[in-house]
Amino acid sequence: MTMFDYIETIFCIYNVINLNSDKKQDGNLKAFAIILYNYVTQLASYNNINLTEIKRPNEIQMAPLYDYVQSKNIQIYALTSMHDGTLDFKKEGVLETYILSQIFHIFNLHV
């Protein structure tokens, strides 16, 4: 897995979530889409990847997501154990864990 593959996967996931938030007029989903967009643009910038180069695929390849979680040893939590008011997003890794846990929940993925 390369960082490009991971960023491509996250960007495609962002596009799906953003589109669904608009279709469903779901404010919570839209808020998460914005958080996800900021996360992926920061990753892309840090890794010198231009998001405009990413083409919309017919289907999202989830393998890079699983590979990233495994290689970074990131714990995915159930949403019931991650209350927004109790999370300290200033601590390193908390925001990323929150984002990835949300993605796994939204897409009904299992580690």
Residue-wise pLDDT tens digits, 47-79: 999 999 998 888 999 999 999 999 999 999 987
Expressed in angstroms, the distance from the first to the final Cα of the chain is: 17
Measured CA to CA, the distance from residue 70 to residue 49 in angstroms comes to 22
Residue-wise pLDDT tens digits, 11-57: 999 999 999 999 999 999 999 999 999 999 999 999 999 999 998 88
Going from the C-alpha of 99 to that of each of 18, 52, 66, 86, 102, the distances in angstroms are 14, 22, 14, 15, 5
Q: Tell me which residue has tokens 């495609």.
A: 12
Please report the pLDDT score of residue 40 as a whole number.
98
Residue 8: alpha-carbon gap to chain centroid:
11
What pTM value is reported for the model?
0.90
